[in-house]
């Protein structure tokens, strides 16, 4: 049990490259927020951002963990991955910027909207990355 | 919990129920528990899909309908029939025969529900143009799906197409037509022959709309038996009564209630999904993504859509085959005399029907929340999690809840005890926290005295 009864923690593993399981953690987080009776609009924004970030980990990293910190004020979701990292975060934040090959773009991915879209949906977003080691993305949503 | 949102057509007959829990295990919204040896329904969770009705081995679940003799309270007795009725009978029975026997039974008018689809199709296309930013728009044809979205996917209620289903349009049209021909409103009795429970519930308490032009509902299996018996006894209906001008349906109208009946008529990218578990799986996934380029979703609770309704008598695959064959035949024969009749007549009422085609906003009624108050909900969530640590996760259902997780939630909400779990009971007995006599009493409370009686030993 948690020492702080007003806060709950959850962890989900994400397997790099396994798209068939991508979205599992987002669905679980969605369930939690529904059980908490959070406003549907907030749930929608959270899940959209969360799903995008989860797919990012699957698409780019080798492995990752999602840490969820939930209380009645807010939910913080941290996506910590081991992967190639992002060399230029500012550039990655620009809408339309993408490192995806034309082949990937043809499949409907890699439009360069991932991070900007997460930022747009989240109330707060923090990102840090070390090339060759991995990326940590944290989004916070206010629930009230 | 006191507020009752839905009228339910499915009724559980306690005196017949043997507490076998088949219904509990198939319910897609986990609305059923076993208590005192009987199945108990949580009204606000039930979406009237009818899975339990099909699973019940003893017929303890019935579908409430109006007494057939009620039709004789009215001078003008309209049978509003969905086209799937025509698919119930063997091929050699003609549509005219069925109609004729319905007349013999006492109906003065027979009108196909699907006549309402022509006006609706136009209205849907217009609606899609106007609300295209809310993609994908979801059909409200199947009332069980509308309720499912309300209770399990409340975030998608805004995507519902807020237009009346063909049934209501057909009923409005026919009532108005009879009124204009001089009938008094109270003399008109419109009875819908339903293939499922959800439609009944929708007529008795329409979602997003307060009034209904339909006076009563009669179950399709009841009508099927009446018609079929009457035919078997030699009432072929061939010369029994003169038929009013034939209101033949167009092929696309005949197929509207089958899978892809709507999606094939809608512009853009459309998907049709039938069977409620398939629908749940799909919506669960869809909720996660912000931008889908699907324009229209046709979702139906039954496998093979209305052909698989719980009140149908025929095999659903044969029904689909027959209806498709019938639709092909119409194509070959057109134009037929009566065809222009009803189309033209409905055109006269187009403005009237279009003025009344909208329904009110469908409100979310989430049943997922553990508590209204977020603080309480969080505490209960914590509790559920703690309880889950000690439950075995085998979902055996012996506690009277469908899954371990459902039991954990029931406990957190004060509706069950941890000792309902048979694994916990064994553990507690080992530790002398519970006597074997006490644990037997607990099982008796859940499953009823009789199950522990002297059937063999």
Classify residue B64 by its DSSP letter. -
Strand-pair partners of B272: B298
pLDDT of residue B238: 53
% residues pLDDT > 90 (chain B): 68
**pLDDT at residue B181 greater than cutoff 50:** yes
Domain of A94 in residue numbering reads as 7-142
Q: What is the mean pLDDT of residues B12-35?
A: 96
Does A6 contact B at CB distance below 8 Å? yes
Looking at every residue in chain A, the average pLDDT score rounds to 86
Cβ-Cβ contacts under 8 Å, B294 against chain A: none
Task: Measure in Å the smallest separation between the Cα of B378 and chain A Cα atoms.
Answer: 6
Q: Residue B179 — φ and ψ, nearest 5°?
A: -60, -45
pLDDT of residue B207: 61
A2 inside domain: no
> Residue A37 and residue B382: Cβ atoms within 8 Å?
no
> Residue A35 and residue B381: Cβ atoms within 8 Å?
yes
CB B346 within 8 A of CB B119: yes
Q: What is the mean pLDDT of residues B267-277?
A: 95
Does A1 contact B at CB distance below 8 Å? yes
Among A37, A72, A113, which would you mutate to test the B interface (most chain B Cβ atoms within 10 Å of its Cβ)?
A: A37
> Residue A72 and residue B364: Cβ atoms within 8 Å?
no
Cβ-Cβ contacts under 8 Å, A34 against chain B: 154, 366, 368-369
Task: Measure in Å the smallest separation between the Cα of A26 and chain B Cα atoms.
Answer: 7
> Residue B288 and residue A30: Cβ atoms within 8 Å?
yes
> Residue A40 and residue B285: Cβ atoms within 8 Å?
no
CB B133 within 8 A of CB B101: no
Task: Measure in Å the smallest separation between the Cα of B264 and chain A Cα atoms.
Answer: 25
The rounded distance, in Å, linking the Cα atoms of B404 and A53 is: 31
Cβ-Cβ contacts under 8 Å, B377 against chain A: 35-37
The rounded distance, in Å, linking the Cα atoms of A24 and B432 is: 41
Q: How many CB pairs under 8 A join A and B?
A: 70
The rounded distance, in Å, linking the Cα atoms of B55 and B377 is: 33
Cβ-Cβ contacts under 8 Å, B374 against chain A: 36-38, 72, 143-144
**pLDDT at residue B340 greater than cutoff 60:** no
From A2, A27, A40, residue closest to B288, measured CB to CB: A27
> Residue B381 and residue A32: Cβ atoms within 8 Å?
yes
CB atoms inside a 10 Å sphere around CB B434: 18
Which structure tokens are listed for B383? 């509790």
pLDDT of residue A49: 92
The CATH 3.30.70.20 portion of chain B extends over: 10-63
pLDDT tier, B75 (very low <50, low <70, confident <90, very high otherwise)? very high
Segment B104-146, tens digit of pLDDT:
889 999 999 999 999 999 999 999 999 988 889 999 999 999 9
Does A121 contact B at CB distance below 8 Å? yes
- CATH number for B10-63: choose from 3.30.70.20, 3.90.1150.10, 3.40.50.720, 3.40.720.10: 3.30.70.20
Q: What is the mean pLDDT of residues B151-157?
A: 90
CB A43 within 8 A of CB A97: no
What chain B residue is nearest to A8 in terms of C-alpha separation?
Answer: B382
> Residue B370 and residue A8: Cβ atoms within 8 Å?
no
Does A32 contact B at CB distance below 8 Å? yes
Segment B95-104, tens digit of pLDDT:
777 888 888 8
Does A76 contact B at CB distance below 8 Å? no
What chain B residue is nearest to A118 in terms of C-alpha separation?
Answer: B290
A1 inside domain: no
> Residue B288 and residue A23: Cβ atoms within 8 Å?
yes
> Residue B287 and residue A1: Cβ atoms within 8 Å?
no
Q: What is the mean pLDDT of residues A66-89?
A: 93
Does A74 contact B at CB distance below 8 Å? no
Among A19, A24, A34, which would you mutate to test the B interface (most chain B Cβ atoms within 10 Å of its Cβ)?
A: A34
Using alpha carbons, select from B52, B47, B105, B48 the residue that is nearest to residue B81: B105
Task: Measure in Å the smallest separation between the Cα of A20 and chain B Cα atoms.
Answer: 12
Least confident segment among A41-45, B190-194, B208-212, B283-287: B208-212
**Number of domains present in the structure of chain A:** 1
Q: Residue A134 — φ and ψ, nearest 5°?
A: 160, 180
Cβ-Cβ contacts under 8 Å, A36 against chain B: 369-370, 374, 377-378, 381
Strand-pair partners of A35: none
Classify residue B267 by its DSSP letter. S
CB atoms inside a 10 Å sphere around CB B46: 22
The rounded distance, in Å, linking the Cα atoms of A47 and B318 is: 42
Q: Residue B217 — φ and ψ, nearest 5°?
A: -130, 135
pLDDT of residue A95: 76
Which structure tokens are listed for B100? 């004729």
Task: Measure in Å the smallest separation between the Cα of B152 and chain A Cα atoms.
Answer: 9
Can you give the CATH number for the domain in which A78 is found? 3.30.565.10
> Residue B385 and residue A34: Cβ atoms within 8 Å?
no
CB atoms inside a 10 Å sphere around CB B150: 24
3-state secondary structure of B272: strand
pLDDT of residue A5: 53
Cβ-Cβ contacts under 8 Å, A143 against chain B: 374
């Amino acid at each position: 049990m948690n020492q702080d009864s007003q806060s709950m923690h959850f962890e989900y593993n994400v397997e790099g490259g396994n798209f068939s399981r991508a979205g599992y953690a987002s669905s679980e987080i969605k369930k939690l927020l529904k059980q908490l009776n959070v406003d549907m609009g907030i749930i929608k924004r959270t899940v959209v951002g969360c799903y995008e970030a989860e797919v990012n980990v699957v698409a780019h990293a080798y492995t990752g963990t999602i840490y969820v910190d939930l209380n009645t004020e807010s939910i913080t979701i941290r996506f910590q991955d081991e992967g190639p990292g992002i060399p230029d975060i500012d550039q990655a934040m620009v809408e339309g910027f993408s490192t995806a090959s034309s082949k990937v773009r043809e499949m409907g991915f890699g439009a360069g909207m991932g991070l900007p879209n997460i930022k747009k949906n989240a109330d707060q977003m923090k990102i840090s990355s070390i090339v060759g080691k991995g990326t940590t993305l944290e989004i916070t949503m206010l629930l009230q | 919990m006191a507020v009752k949102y839905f009228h339910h057509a499915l009724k559980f007959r306690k005196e017949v129920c043997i507490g076998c829990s088949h219904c509990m295990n198939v319910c897609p919204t986990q609305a059923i528990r076993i208590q005192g040896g009987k199945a108990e329904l949580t009204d606000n969770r039930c979406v009237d899909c009818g899975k339990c009705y099909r699973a019940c081995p003893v017929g303890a679940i019935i579908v409430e309908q109006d007494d057939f003799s009620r039709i004789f309270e009215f001078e003008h007795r309209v049978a509003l029939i969905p086209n799937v009725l025509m698919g119930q009978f063997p091929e050699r029975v003609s549509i005219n025969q069925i109609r004729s026997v319905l007349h013999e039974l006492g109906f003065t008018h027979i009108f196909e529900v699907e006549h309402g689809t022509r006006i609706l199709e136009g209205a849907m296309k217009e609606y899609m143009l106007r609300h295209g930013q809310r993609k994908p728009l979801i059909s409200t044809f199947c009332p069980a799906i509308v309720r499912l979205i309300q209770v399990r996917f409340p975030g998608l209620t805004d995507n519902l197409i807020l237009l009346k289903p063909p049934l209501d349009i057909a009923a409005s049209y026919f009532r108005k037509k009879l009124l204009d021909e001089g009938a008094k409103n109270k003399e008109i009795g419109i009875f819908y022959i339903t293939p499922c429970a959800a439609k009944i519930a929708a007529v008795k308490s329409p979602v997003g709309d307060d009034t209904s032009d339909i006076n009563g509902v009669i179950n399709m299996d009841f009508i099927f038996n009446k018609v079929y018996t009457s035919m078997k006894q030699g009432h072929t209906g061939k010369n029994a009564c003169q038929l009013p001008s034939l209101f033949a349906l167009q092929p696309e109208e005949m197929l509207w209630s089958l899978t892809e009946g709507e999606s094939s008529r809608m512009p853009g990218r459309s998907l049709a999904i039938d069977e409620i578990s398939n629908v749940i799986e799909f919506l669960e996934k869809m909720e996660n993504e912000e931008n889908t380029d699907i324009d229209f979703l046709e979702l139906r609770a039954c496998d093979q859509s209305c052909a698989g309704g719980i009140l149908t008598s025929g095999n659903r695959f044969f029904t689909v085959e027959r209806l498709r064959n019938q639709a092909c035949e119409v194509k070959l024969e057109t134009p037929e005399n009566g065809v222009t009749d009803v189309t033209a007549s409905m055109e006269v009422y187009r403005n009237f029907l279009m003025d009344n085609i909208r329904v009110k906003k469908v409100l979310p009624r989430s049943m997922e929340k553990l508590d209204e108050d977020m603080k309480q909900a969080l505490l209960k969530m914590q509790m559920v999690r703690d309880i889950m640590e000690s439950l075995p996760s085998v979902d055996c259902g012996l506690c009277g809840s469908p899954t371990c997780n459902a039991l954990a939630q029931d406990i957190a909400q004060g509706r069950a005890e941890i000792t309902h779990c048979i694994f916990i009971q064994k553990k507690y007995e080992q530790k002398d926290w519970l006597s074997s006599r006490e644990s037997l009493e607990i099982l008796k409370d859940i499953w009823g005295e009789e199950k522990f009686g002297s059937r063999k030993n």
